[in-house]
Amino acid sequence: MAVLLTKHSRVVVQGITGHQGQFHTRAMLDFGTKVVAGSSPGKGGSKVEGVPVFDSVQQAVDKKRANASIIFVPAPYTKDAAIEAMEAGLKLVVIITERIPFHDTLEFIPYARTKGAVVIGPNCPGIITPAEAKMGIMPSHIFKPGDCGVISRSGTLTYEIVNAMTQGGFGQSTCVGIGGDPIIGTNTLEALELFQADRKTKRIVVVGEIGGTAEEEAAAYIHKNVTKPVVAYVAGRTAPPGKRMGHAGAIIQGNMGTAESKVKAFNDAGVPVAEYPVDIAKLLGQT
Amino acid sequence: MKFLEYKAKAIFAKYGIPVPRGVVAARPEEIHDPPLPCMVKAQVLVGGRGKAGGIKPAATIEEAHAIASQILGMDIKGYKVKTVYLEQRLDIEKELYLSFTIDRSAREPLLIASAMGGMEIETVPHDQLFMQHIPTLIGIQPYVLRSMTKRLGLADHLGEQVEDIARKAYALFRKEDAELVEINPLVVTKGGKVIAGDAKLVVDDNAEYRHLEYAKLDQDRTALEEEAHEKGITFIQLDGDIGVIANGAGLTMATLDVLNLKGGKGGTFLDLGGTDDPDKVAQAFELLIKAKPSVILLNIFGGITKADTVALGVKKALEVMHADVPVVARIKGVNEDAAKQILRDIGMHPAETMEEAAELAVQVKRGGV
């Protein structure tokens, strides 16, 4: 078992004909992902990297039994694409696109709940289950199969940490990039629930950052419900208040969302927090 | 996108929310027919204007001129007052509070109302707040508004007005892609009218493409930050002296944190994003050099990023800008070795890890390398 994504997942790529869509379709196929279809309105009948392209997600479901979607379409069209995927009955929708208006996300995320669909992202690197499948844009070669579940709000910082984990001998069960936006489909706490329930995952790494209270809520949840060892890193200890640090969600508002508050919450819950990103591997060695 | 009070009030008025009459001026001579008696209010993108002396009453046109010249040019928490708003003075009976924000955890809009308006909402006791999530797909229902006015203890004729204002403020919140709509105070006048005493509006930057008319609004950015914004580069000026540039927001934040642990202080947050296009790298570096850092610390962790083309971009920028600022670079990606050679050739300092790079940057700054 793994979290959310396995080698059996049948993936449709929405926006497969765009530069990003095409490039990452190739990389996902090379990783072993079953990319069974692409969708791109008006481009039905063509092929990208040998993958058949349909005009709609519904056709990809009907003809190729797609059951998960990864979305690369530009921000103004993402709400449409996400709702289309949910309407077609897909239960996993990974949204890579960044800079989606919050009010669009505020609509399609509650809608996903009514449809029983899990949304990962937006503004995220995706999900990867090493040796099984990848629905995302992360560099495949730094990952290695193992028993550590990784949850992260960031992209490249996650690669940095995963790279250190792999070099330190700590492989990953699944790595979920939950996204850097203030409103995301699956938050830290919900991802923790998945890893706590996953038999293959023995340890959990949480990569948080300033902004919001997701880490504080996750820490309280860990304290009460998580029996597996958890280690964490929090980015933005030196970020000034009131500034959006690149990610739309990375902003200290008033006295809310500071790194100190998150580090304290983790420590109070018995979760060691790494000072340097690479120290995650050392902390895992102590679990 | 943040709005000055008078601009926010113009949008409030468009949605039918009652606002006082007012005129705006950038110079005292521009004031002709202010509503008298009036309040002269500094227009800045920061709270606490009143305490800083940025809001004062005026009874006559002469007084209005005199006070406007006092307030214009004033410095309020680092913001220079460029315009004043002269607004009809209200006969205040009572001050309420009303806002709509986005609750990240609940992933829903949140309505907050209080009978204790006119002060910072963070200082209002929790039991004095009416808070209600609004399901986005359903919208604001009448019962929510009824419970709100009941909780605020308002007489019927006032309650109706507050409900109407809340309904309109929510419509504004949704249609204008707002992150925040705040009316504090929401004034009840002695004459029994409810009217927005102040107006705070923040619109989601990501929705700029749907509201192009707001793109030209003055924001609280430095000149360099403004230049970066126009070029689509994520760039923030900080109060340290080491120019930090990395790829990805999380990694850039972490690089600043690591630098701090090594005894240095970041002067910039520059997120290069996923590019390895040498021209884009050069453009970002040019911006960074303009911020006059003592050392530049570049940290790239790229899976598919071409390290050598990033290095070429660095070289190009230094040549174009005739800059002799030292660069410490850690570039992980395709063709790493070639990248290191390019950097060495131009006398720069390659490093293996971000910790090593941060340490080296601090040493170089201290003149130790």
Residue B269, chain A, CB below 8 Å: the answer is yes
Three-state SS annotation for chain B: CECCHHHHHHHHHHCCCCCCCEEEECCHHHCCCCCCCEEEEEECCCCCCCCCCCEEEECCHHHHHHHHHHHCCCEECCEECCEEEEEECCCEEEEEEEEEEEECCCCEEEEEEECCCCCCHHHCCHHHEEEEECCCCCCCCHHHHHHHHHHHCCCHHHHHHHHHHHHHHHHHHHHCCEEEEEEEEEEEECCCCEEECCCEEEECHHHHHHCHHHCCCCCCCCHHHHHHHHHCCEEEECCCCEEEEECCHHHHHHHHHHHHHCCCCEEEEEECCCCCCHHHHHHHHHHHHHCCCCEEEEEEEEEEEEHHHHHHHHHHHHHHCCCCCCEEEEEEEECHHHHHHHHHHCCCEECCCHHHHHHHHHHHHCCCC
Q: Is the pLDDT of residue B78 over 90?
A: no
**pTM (predicted TM-score):** 0.95
Identify the CATH number of the domain defined by range B92-214. 3.30.470.20
Q: Which CATH fold would you assign to the domain B223-365?
A: Rossmann fold (3.40.50)
Residue among B104, B248, B257 minimizing CB distance to A182: B104
Q: Is the pLDDT of residue B9 over 90?
A: yes
Determine contact, residues A123/A247, Cβ cutoff 8 Å.
yes
Residue among A111, A245, A255 minimizing CB distance to B253: A245
Q: Is the pLDDT of residue B245 over 60?
A: yes
Q: How far apart are the first and last CA of chain B?
A: 43
Question: Angle of helix B156-175 relative to helix B142-152, nearest 10 degrees?
Answer: 130
Q: What are phi and psi of B79, to 5 degrees?
A: -105, 125
Domains contained in chain A, CATH given: 10-120 (3.40.50.720), 138-285 (3.40.50.261)
Helices marked H in chain A — which ranges? 19-31, 57-64, 78-87, 102-115, 156-167, 188-197, 214-225, 259-268, 279-285
**Residue B266 is which amino acid?**
G
Give the pLDDT band (50/70/90) at residue B47: confident
Can you give the pLDDT at residue B13? 98
Can you give the pLDDT at residue A215? 97
At B91-100, the pLDDT tens digits run 999 999 999 9
Ranges of each domain in chain B: 21-88, 92-214, 223-365
Question: Which chain A residues touch B250 with a CB distance below 8 Å?
Answer: 152-158, 180, 207, 209, 235, 246-247, 250
At B305-337, the pLDDT tens digits run 888 988 999 898 888 888 889 999 999 888 889
Nearest-Cα residue of chain A relative to residue B211: A101
Residue B260, chain A, CB below 8 Å: the answer is yes
Nearest chain A Cα distance for residue B250, angstroms:
5
Residues in CB range of B7: below 8 A, 6 or more apart: B201, B217
Residue B109, chain A, CB below 8 Å: the answer is yes
pLDDT truncated to tens, each residue of chain A (287 aa)? 578 999 999 999 999 999 999 999 999 999 999 999 999 999 999 999 999 999 999 999 999 999 999 999 999 999 999 999 999 999 999 999 999 999 999 999 999 999 999 999 999 999 999 999 999 999 999 999 999 999 999 999 999 999 999 999 999 999 999 999 999 999 999 999 999 999 999 999 999 999 999 999 999 999 999 999 999 999 999 999 989 999 989 999 888 899 999 999 999 999 999 999 999 999 999 98
Cis? peptide before A277, omega within 30° of 0: no
d(C-alpha B168, C-alpha B187), whole Å: 16
At A269-278, the pLDDT tens digits run 999 999 999 9
Summarize the confidence of residues B294-298 as an average pLDDT: 96
Residue among A110, A157, A160 minimizing CB distance to B137: A110
Determine contact, residues A136/A69, Cβ cutoff 8 Å.
no
Summarize the confidence of residues B67-71 as an average pLDDT: 97
Nearest chain A Cα distance for residue B202, angstroms:
12
Summarize the confidence of residues B192-207 as an average pLDDT: 97
The superfamily CATH assigns to domain B21-88 is ATP-grasp fold, A domain (3.30.1490.20)
**Geometric angle at alpha carbon A186, from B229 and B302, rounded to 5°:** 50
Residue B224, chain A, CB below 8 Å: the answer is no
At B18-32, the pLDDT tens digits run 999 999 999 999 999
At B144-182, the pLDDT tens digits run 999 999 999 999 999 999 999 999 999 999 999 999 999
Determine contact, residues B6/B24, Cβ cutoff 8 Å.
yes
d(C-alpha A10, C-alpha A66), whole Å: 5
Can you give the pLDDT at residue A1? 52
The overall average pLDDT reported for chain B is 94
Can you give the pLDDT at residue B276? 80
Question: Which chain A residues touch B105 with a CB distance below 8 Å?
Answer: 187, 212-214, 217
Can you give the pLDDT at residue B334? 84
Summarize the confidence of residues B47-75 as an average pLDDT: 94
Q: Is the pLDDT of residue B369 over 80?
A: no
Radius of gyration (Cα) for chain B, nearest Å? 26
Residue B355, chain A, CB below 8 Å: the answer is yes
Give the pLDDT band (50/70/90) at residue B279: confident
Nearest chain A Cα distance for residue B134, angstroms:
11
Q: Is the pLDDT of residue B137 over 90?
A: yes
Q: Is the pLDDT of residue B219 over 90?
A: no
Determine contact, residues A16/A54, Cβ cutoff 8 Å.
no
